[in-house]
Chains A and B, each alone.
Chain A
Amino acid sequence: MDKRIKPLLAAAMMCAALPALAAEIVVVVNPKNPASRMFSEQAAQFFLGKSTLFTPIEHTEGPLRNEFSQKVLGKDSAQVKAQWSKLVFTGKGTAPKEYGSSAEVKKAVAADVQAIGYIEKSAVDDSVKVILTVQ
C-alpha cells in the first residue's frame, strides 16, 4: 500500500469511529422542576412540538444536535425542521430557541423552570437536573 495513503486512511478511519467517541448526551431540566426521570419518547414530544408542557431549548445545527435528533427524535435535523415549520406557520407553535453550546443551553434551562434541554454529560452541574441519559 502506498505510504502516503496510509495516514489518510488512518485519519478516515478515526473520523468514521468518531460517532462512537461522541460525548454522552443528557436531557436536563430546571432543578425546581419536580420531574425526576423521563423516557426518550416523552422528551421527544417536547422537541417535536407535540406537547407544550415543557419549553424545549435547542442547539444550533451541529453534531450534538444531529446525534440527539437521530437517537431521541428518530429523525434527521431536516425532518425535525420540516416538522417545526408545520407548527410555526400554522400559528400552532413557536420553534425552540437555539443556542450554540452546552454551556448556553444549560444557562437557559437554569433560568426557566419550564425549560427542557440537552447537554454533554461533562457540562452538567448543580444549576440543572439530569432526567434522562441518551443511550
Chain B
Amino acid sequence: MTMKRMCSALAALSAASFAIQAGAQESGPTVTISGFGTAALTSTDTNDAEFIRPNQASGVKKDWRTGVDSNFGIQATVKVNDMISFTGQGLVRKDAIDHYRAQAAWAFAKFKINDDFSVRVGRMGAPIYMISDFRNVGYANTMLRPPAEVYRQVTLDSFDGVDLLYQHSFGDTALSVQLGTGRADVDQPAQNIEFRKMLLLHVVAENGPFTLRFGRAQADFSVVDNPTLTGLVTTLRTVGLGSVANMMPLNDVKGTFTSVGGTMDWKNVVLQAEYAMRRTDTLIVHDTNSWYAMAGYRFGKVLPYYYHGSIKQKSDRSVAGLPTTGPLAPLGAGVNNLAKAALQTSDAIGVRWDFYKSLALKVQVDHIKPKDGPGAFINTKPGFNESVNVYAVALDFVF
C-alpha cells in the first residue's frame, strides 16, 4: 500500500466517523436553487427541409429561430439532513409538442446509505448516453448540441423508478456506478412510446484528465397512439402479408442500447467520443451502430473544436418479397420506407468562449450529409437528399 493510499484510507475512515457526529447535530433543512439555460439562434441554408434536435416536432430552415437550441431549467434541492434530500428540476424547451413547454425533468428523493452508496426514488435522468444527465445543460458541455447521429437513437430523458448509486475511489481512480430500473412514457411527434421493465446501467471511471464510460439500457417498449402504423399492420394481415406484419410487432418489443465513451481534458487538449449500438426485435425501430468523435484545443478562454458523427444501419433496409407492382405496390413501398433508418454524417466546427463568469458563448456550423434518404431532417420536400449547413449561436448560462 502506497503512502498516498494509506493517507486516503485514513482520511476516509476519520471522515466517516465524523459524519455520524455531524448528522447528530444537524441544523434543519437547507434549500438550494440553481438554474441553467441556453439562449440560441439557429438556421440552415435550405428551405427544403427542417433541422431539428431529436424528437422535436418542428425545426428551422433559412430563417433564424430560437426554438431548436434554446432551453431553460431550474432546480431545487432540499437537504433535510445528511441522509435525505429531495431534488426537483423543471425544464422549458421545444419538444414533441410544437411550442415551448415546461416538463418535470426530474423529481426524486435521495437517501445516502453511506459514503459509497445512495438510493434514489422518483423521476430521474435516464443514463442512456455518456452525457445524458447534463445534455440539456449547455454550460456543462463543449459542443453546442449533442451529436444527433448518436443522441437521436433513444429519445428518452427520464424514467420513473429507483436507482442505486455507488461511488468509490480506488487510488487515483474514481468509479461511479448507477443501476436503475423503472418505466417511462415518451411523447413523440406522431406517437408515444411506452418503456417498461427498464434496466439501466451506467459505469464511469475517472482518472485525472481521463474518463471512460460504459452504458447498457434495455427495456420492453410499445409504440402507442399511432393509428397509421396499427392500420398498416392490420392491412398487411388482411392482404395475406402476415409474415411481414409479424416482423413489426408494436407491443412489448425488446430493445437494447449499449454504448462506450470517453473524454480527455489534458494539457489544453479536449477529446470526447462515443460509440453506440441499438438493437430491437422490430423492423420499424432499426438496428444501428452510431458514433461521434470530437477534438478541441483550449486557448485560454477560447475552445475551438471539431466533430464528426456517423451512423450505420445493421438491419435490412428493405424487406424481401414485398409486392412492387399492382395495387399492393404502395403498401410494399410503405413498409420499405419504415425499414430505413435515418442515415447521415455530420462534420461540425465550433468554438466555445468563456467570456464572463458563468456565461459561455458558442458558435457552431454543422455540415450534414443525408444518405439514402432525408437523414434526420423533417418536413422534407419529396426526394430531398442534399447536404445542409446548420448555423447556430448560443449563450449558455448557469446560476
Chain A positions near chain B (C-beta within 8 angstroms): 32-35, 37-39, 41-42, 45, 50-54, 61, 76-79, 81-83, 85-86, 88-92, 94-95, 112-114
Residue of B nearest to A51 (CB): B169
Report if B228 contacts A (CB, 8 A).
no
Is B174's CB under 8 angstroms from A86's CB? Answer: no
Residues from 1 to 26 in B contacting A, C-beta threshold 8 Å: 4, 7-8, 10-12, 14-16, 18-19, 21-22
Residues of chain B in range 249-296 having any CB-CB distance to chain A below 8 Å:
265
List 30 A–B pairs whose Cβ atoms lie within 8 Å, in order of A's numbering: A33-B14, A35-B10, A38-B7, A39-B4, A50-B206, A52-B115, A53-B16, A53-B115, A77-B357, A78-B301, A78-B357, A81-B139, A81-B357, A82-B139, A85-B398, A86-B133, A89-B75, A89-B137, A89-B140, A89-B398, A91-B75, A91-B77, A91-B106, A91-B120, A91-B124, A92-B133, A94-B32, A95-B34, A113-B22, A114-B22
> Main secondary structure on chain A at its contact with chain B?
loop
A92–B133 CA distance with the chains assembled, in angstroms:
10
A80 to chain B: closest CB distance in Å? 11
Q: A81-B357, A91-B77, A91-B110 are in contact. Are A114 and B36 (CB under 8 A)?
A: no
User: Contacts of A32 on B, CB cut-off 8 Å?
Assistant: 18
Residue from B12, B73, B354 within 8 A of A53 (CB atoms): B12
Distance between A132 CB and nearest chain B CB, rounded to angstroms:
11
Contacts of B22 in A (CB 8 A): 112-114
Q: How far is the CA of A94 from the CA of B140 in the complex (A)?
A: 15
Chain A residues within 8 Å of B11, by CB: 35, 38, 42, 53-54
Q: Is the CB–CB distance between A86 and B134 below 8 Å?
A: yes
Residues on A with beta carbons closer than 8 Å to the beta carbon of B300: 76
Chain B residues within 8 Å of A54, by CB: 11, 15
